[in-house]
Chains A and B, each alone.
Chain A
Amino acid sequence: MTHPAIGLDDVVHQRVRLGILTVAHEARRVEFGFLRATLDLTTGNLSQHLTVLEKAGLVEIEKGYEGRRGRTWIHLTAAGRKALDDEISQLKRLIRQVEEAPAADPAAEPS
């Protein structure tokens, strides 16, 4: 069995991107401003992370207008949902595996 840490996807296993996917997973769709406020990010920083996720096919970005106001909505794709589920289950597995591992013998530790 491979170590759970090996199964972690670099695109998803990043604090901000994991946050974006989590928020998008909970909501049917989420607006850029809500994401920025919730994750406490700058516009530029959030845009960069969204570009990475969009290129990986994990989110879809939809730009539009409501009245005169430009709005950007983010949807989670099926691949994004799967990537998030995989990440969460890998993290849980990692915790379980380390917790269930027998404690190291202090005598065996190199001095």
Chain B
Amino acid sequence: MTERSTGSVDTAREALSSSRQLARRVRHAQRGTWFPLVLLGLVIAAAAPFYRLGRHVVTCDPALGARGGVQIIDGGACVQVVGWPVGIYWIVAFVLAYAAIAAFYVYRARNRGVGARVLPYVGTGIATGLVLGIASAWSQQLDIVGYFPTGPVAVGMVPLISIGLALFVLARVERNWPLVVFTTGYLVVALLASGIGTRRPGVSVGAGLGPMWGFLPGLVVACGVLLLGGVGFALAERRRGV
């Protein structure tokens, strides 16, 4: 190896390394991960009254089940679960939340002088939220009961999943590995808290709450995870001094 080639290789290495460092700095400046996490955490918390609105105690024979709706049978009491109140809530909330997220990123881009490609995330968030939300809340009316998870678990779980799926897109957009890890953890926790694999979803997690409020632990856990994540990402951003 001659001195000249060594020199040119060193220059090339330096140029590549400097390019990578610059790219990293720009990515850090573009990130605003904390905002969607905090906002969506609050959106989940605000959904609670609408879940409660869709639950009614009905008279039924626990052996036969209630008519015309999903039901939870708990200790001889029958609760009918209607998906439309929360379905409407999620449609409106998702559209407004993702519009606010888009506005936040635009404002930040103007402020910092560096744009971010946030449209794929916003588009995915709205699309998955609407499609999955409508499918879970109106599965009977849409006649897709056999093709789509239904019941109280699905009504509670699907919006949480759609938030997670969209967060994976945000992680891709921001090239943010910590967000991939966080989102994976959030999805696992949200699914477990929604009562996946339990015989009496929600009720088993929310022992003592009864069937009328059995959805609450799932929401509280998912909301808590997102809020904590938001705080964590905000602190990390502050520490980097971006």
Q: A residues within 8 Å of B by Cβ?
A: 5, 13, 15, 18-19, 22-23, 25-35, 38-39, 66, 88, 91-92, 94-95, 98-99, 101, 103-104
Contact A104 B19 (CB under 8 A): no
Contact of A18 among B9, B19, B30, B114 (CB under 8 A): B19
Q: Once A and B bind, how many residue pairs between them come within 8 Å at the CB atom?
A: 79
Contact A34 B2 (CB under 8 A): no
Q: B residues within 8 Å of A by Cβ?
A: 1-2, 5-6, 8-9, 12-13, 15-16, 18-19, 22-23, 25-27, 29-30, 109-110, 112-117
Additional pairs, 20, CB under 8 Å, beyond known A18-B18, A98-B8: A18-B15, A18-B19, A19-B19, A22-B26, A23-B114, A25-B23, A26-B30, A27-B30, A27-B116, A28-B115, A29-B109, A29-B115, A30-B115, A33-B113, A34-B113, A91-B15, A94-B12, A95-B9, A95-B16, A98-B1
Contact B22 A19 (CB under 8 A): yes
Q: List 27 A-B contacts (CB under 8 A).
A: A5-B8, A18-B19, A22-B22, A22-B26, A23-B22, A23-B114, A26-B23, A26-B26, A26-B30, A27-B114, A27-B116, A28-B109, A28-B115, A28-B116, A28-B117, A31-B114, A34-B112, A35-B113, A38-B25, A38-B26, A39-B22, A94-B12, A95-B9, A98-B6, A98-B8, A99-B9, A101-B1
Contact B114 A30 (CB under 8 A): yes
**How far is A83 from B210 in the complex, measured between Cα atoms in Å?**
64
Q: Is the interface of B mostly helix, strand, loop or mixed?
A: helix
Contact A88 B19 (CB under 8 A): yes
Q: Name the residue of chain A whose CB is nearest to the CB of B13.
A: A95
Whether A38 touches B1, Cβ cut-off 8 Å, given contacts A31-B113, A95-B12, is: no
**How far is A39 from B2 in the complex, measured between Cα atoms in Å?**
32
**How far is A13 from B16 in the complex, measured between Cα atoms in Å?**
11
Contact B116 A22 (CB under 8 A): no
Contacts of A13 in B (CB 8 A): 15
Contact of B15 among A15, A23, A38 (CB under 8 A): A15
Q: Name the residue of chain B whose CB is nearest to the CB of A104.
A: B1
**How far is A1 from B233 in the complex, measured between Cα atoms in Å?**
48
Contacts of A22 in B (CB 8 A): 19, 22-23, 26
